């Protein structure tokens, strides 16, 4: 019995030891499997290229976001008219073209990619100068061919040897240095002590006495003041009245206004002469005139001039006009106001039926809509000086008015320089313009009677009649240099 008890106890102890050994072995196996699994997972993670690429892209994205936040401030106009203020990388702005998408960071730090077809215009905003810039660096603004301005600095030693058409290293404010290809540079500007902007142009050499000449393939694309791709050839005139903006020396035009043929020519950069006649019978009417312009600032002009209308068949001067005018604006968008004195026996007595000379007031405007389209308006108010002086007698001094609105079509530009057309630069110069529109005219009717068949006495009673709308058609052929 005792032996059976000890035998049972020994067997139980042996079974317990085997069970413990088996459990320990299982735990070691599980631990080994866990280690192997962990190693496999580590190897898989190390060998997973997609995970590495994702992390790398995330870092690059953060770096780009950081650069854009410190990038070039710009204002983007969308095709729906909305303006967005944002920043963009200088490298992207340099090579950006109209129609391409553009990456932006908005003012609230929202990242946005604009589709190219939604962008109407991109304008760079004024940049802040850096206090830490080297004193020897040259501060300037570079205008790219896409119309965007980049402000920054260039090392002085680079500017000494740089010539137009060559590459240039620019350090935009708040950005790293970038290499601008010469073909991407449209113009360069500097600012003087009074912060006045001036365009950098080749100047006359002191040693050679000659200005550097650019070859045809070195000339840069032209950008008009309002961003159009070639100049407006008709900025010097409206329908009939001139603006104060002069033509360049050697420029001119021949115009056919209904039944009047006229021509104008700039003998220098400030003086224009004019001549015209009745198309079908020159002896019935001849016109001569001149205009002298003075540039007051980049966008303001003053002019004085005069015109005389003769009737050669009667050896009589039908009308004479002297005027002074002021124009505000640029070649694409401007308005003018002119005033003067007009008089002549035929025009005063037979046409306006008034006493003595009159005062014309003319208000005109020109707005370019596209490369080949513009709106033009010209409005006249003519008052009689005698009636103005005697206004207390009750007679209206208003003699006539004329109001007009026309659609101006600019002809296709010359793409290549042609010797016969006297093209001097690659911006191209439209040779034709068409004006098509309507005119409304009102005039005073006043009865008169004669005393003793000699003295003409006007009636105190007047009324006004209106003509219109009357069609206006004008074709002009422009010649001479393109001007830039």
pLDDT digits (tens, 9 = 90+) for 79-111: 887 888 888 877 777 788 877 888 888 777 778
Question: 448 with 413, same domain?
Answer: yes
**Assigned domain for 32 exists:** no
Lowest mean pLDDT among 153-162, 381-390, 423-432: 423-432
**Assigned domain for 82 exists:** yes
Question: 294 with 167, same domain?
Answer: no
* Domains held by the chain: number: 3
What H or E segment, with its residue span, contains residue 463?
A: strand 455-479
Question: 306 with 455, same domain?
Answer: yes
Strands 398-410 and 252-257: unpaired
- How far apart CA 373 and CA 364 sit, in angstroms, is 17
The residue that leads in pLDDT, 424 or 266, is 266
Task: Quickly state the pLDDT bin for 361 (edges 50, 70, 90).
Answer: very high
Query: DSSP strand E in 214-285: where?
Result: 252-257, 260-266, 271-278
Question: 473 with 350, same domain?
Answer: yes
What is the per-residue pLDDT across 385-431, written as a single tens digit (0 to 9) for each?
888 888 777 778 888 999 999 999 998 765 444 444 433 334 567 88
- How far apart CA 444 and CA 272 sit, in angstroms, is 34
* Mean pLDDT rounded to a whole number for the chain: 76
Q: What is the CATH number of the domain that holds 264?
A: 2.40.160.40
**Assigned domain for 411 exists:** yes
What is the number of other CB atoms lying within 10 angstroms of the CB of residue 46? 9
Looking at residue 55, its pLDDT comes to 38
Selection from 36-40, 44-48, 58-62, 392-396 with the highest mean pLDDT = 392-396
Residue 133 has pLDDT above 60, yes or no: no
**Assigned domain for 367 exists:** yes
Looking at residue 40, its pLDDT comes to 39
| Residue after which a domain boundary falls, among 124, 150, 173 | 124
Strands 316-329 and 300-311: antiparallel
Residues whose CB is less than 8 angstroms from the CB of residue 104 and which lie 6 or more positions away in sequence, other chains included: 68, 74, 76, 84, 86, 87, 88, 111, 112, 113, 114
Looking at residue 238, its pLDDT comes to 97
The residue that leads in pLDDT, 223 or 188, is 188
Looking at residue 343, its pLDDT comes to 86
Lowest mean pLDDT among 51-55, 208-212, 429-433, 446-450: 51-55
Residue 334 has pLDDT above 80, yes or no: yes
Selection from 149-163, 186-200, 250-264, 402-416 with the highest mean pLDDT = 250-264
Lowest mean pLDDT among 21-35, 173-187, 467-481: 21-35
Question: 332 with 463, same domain?
Answer: yes
| Residue after which a domain boundary falls, among 97, 124, 151 | 124
Looking at residue 215, its pLDDT comes to 45
Residue 193 has pLDDT above 80, yes or no: no
Looking at residue 421, its pLDDT comes to 42
**Assigned domain for 48 exists:** no
Let me know: does 409 contact 314? Beta carbons within 8 Å.
Answer: no
How far is residue 69 CA from its own chain's centroid? 28
Looking at residue 451, its pLDDT comes to 67
Mean of pLDDT values over 205-222 = 48
What's the alpha-carbon Rg for the chain, to the nearest Å? Answer: 40
Task: Quickly state the pLDDT bin for 9 (edges 50, 70, 90).
Answer: very low
The residue that leads in pLDDT, 155 or 204, is 155
Let me know: does 472 contact 258? Beta carbons within 8 Å.
Answer: yes
- How far apart CA 311 and CA 319 sit, in angstroms, is 9
Question: 321 with 425, same domain?
Answer: yes
Looking at residue 335, its pLDDT comes to 97
Residues whose CB is less than 8 angstroms from the CB of residue 27 and which lie 6 or more positions away in sequence, other chains included: none
**Assigned domain for 27 exists:** no
Question: 100 with 151, same domain?
Answer: no
Question: 411 with 304, same domain?
Answer: yes
What is the per-residue pLDDT across 458-475, written as a single tens digit (0 to 9) for each?
666 778 899 989 999 999
Question: 64 with 146, same domain?
Answer: no
Q: DSSP letters of 159-218?
A: HHH--TTS-EEEEETTS--EEEPGGGEEEEEEE-TT--EEE------TTTSS-----GGG
**Separation in Å, CA 484 to CA 81, 447, 480:** 32, 55, 12
**Assigned domain for 161 exists:** yes
Question: 171 with 116, same domain?
Answer: no
**Assigned domain for 46 exists:** no
Selection from 10-19, 37-46, 148-157, 420-429 with the highest mean pLDDT = 148-157
**Separation in Å, CA 445 to CA 6, 114, 398, 460:** 151, 62, 11, 11
Mean of pLDDT values over 363-372 = 94
Looking at residue 266, its pLDDT comes to 95
What range defines the domain where residue 170 resides?
138-205+214-218
Question: 106 with 172, same domain?
Answer: no
Q: What is the CATH number of the domain that holds 178?
A: 2.30.30
Question: 107 with 143, same domain?
Answer: no
Residue 484 has pLDDT above 90, yes or no: no
Selection from 50-59, 284-293, 352-361, 391-400 with the highest mean pLDDT = 284-293
How far is residue 142 CA from its own chain's centroid? 16
| Residue after which a domain boundary falls, among 196, 218, 240 | 218
Mean of pLDDT values over 231-241 = 93
Q: What is the CATH number of the domain that holds 104?
A: 2.30.30.100
Percent share of the chain, pLDDT over 90 = 29
């Amino acid at each position: 019995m005792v032996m059976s008890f000890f035998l049972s106890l020994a067997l139980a102890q042996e079974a317990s030891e085997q069970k413990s050994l088996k459990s320990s072995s299982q735990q070691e196996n599980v631990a080994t499997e866990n280690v192997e699994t962990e190693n496999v997972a580590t190897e898989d993670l190390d060998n997973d290229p997609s995970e590495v690429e994702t992390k790398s892209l995330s870092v690059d994205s953060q770096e780009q976001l950081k650069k854009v936040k410190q990038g070039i401030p710009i204002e983007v106009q969308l095709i729906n008219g909305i303006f967005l203020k944002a920043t963009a990388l200088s490298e992207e702005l340099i090579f950006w073209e109209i129609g391409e998408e553009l990456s932006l960071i908005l003012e609230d730090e929202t990242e946005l990619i604009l589709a190219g077809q939604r962008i109407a215009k991109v304008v760079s905003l004024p940049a802040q100068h850096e206090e830490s810039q080297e004193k020897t660096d040259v501060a300037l603004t570079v205008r790219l061919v896409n119309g965007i301005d980049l402000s920054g600095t260039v090392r002085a030693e680079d500017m000494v040897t740089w010539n137009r058409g060559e590459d240039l290293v620019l350090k935009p404010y708040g950005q790293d240095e970038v290499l601008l290809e010469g073909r991407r540079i449209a113009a360069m500007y500097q600012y003087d002590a009074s912060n006045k902007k001036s365009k950098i142009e080749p100047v006359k050499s002191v040693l050679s006495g000659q200005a550097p000449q650019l070859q045809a393939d070195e000339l840069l694309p032209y950008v008009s003041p309002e961003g159009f791709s070639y100049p407006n050839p008709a900025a010097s005139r409206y329908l009939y009245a001139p603006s104060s903006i002069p033509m360049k020396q050697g420029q001119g035009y021949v115009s056919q206004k209904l039944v009047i043929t006229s021509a104008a020519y700039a003998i220098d950069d400030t003086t224009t002469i004019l001549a015209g006649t009745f198309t079908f019978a020159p002896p019935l009417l001849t016109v001569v005139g001149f205009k002298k312009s003075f540039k007051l600032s980049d966008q303001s002009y003053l002019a004085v001039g005069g015109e005389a209308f003769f009737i050669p068949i009667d050896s009589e001067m039908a009308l004479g006009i002297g005027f002074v005018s002021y124009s505000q604006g640029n070649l694409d968008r401007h308005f003018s106001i002119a005033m003067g004195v007009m008089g002549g026996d035929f025009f005063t007595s037979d046409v306006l039926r008034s006493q003595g000379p009159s005062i014309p007031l003319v208000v005109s405007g020109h707005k370019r809509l596209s490369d080949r389209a513009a709106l033009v308006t010209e409005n006249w108010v003519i008052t009689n000086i005698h009636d103005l002086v005697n206004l207390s007698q009750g007679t209206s001094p208003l003699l006539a008015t004329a109001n007009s609105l026309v659609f101006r079509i600019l002809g296709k530009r010359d793409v290549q320089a042609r010797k016969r057309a006297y093209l001097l630069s690659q911006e191209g110069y439209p040779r034709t313009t068409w004006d098509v529109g309507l005119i409304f005219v009102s005039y005073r009717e006043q009865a008169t009677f004669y005393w003793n068949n000699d003295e003409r006495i006007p009636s105190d009673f007047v009324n006004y009649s209106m003509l219109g709308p009357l069609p206006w058609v004008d074709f002009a052929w422009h010649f001479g240099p393109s001007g830039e």
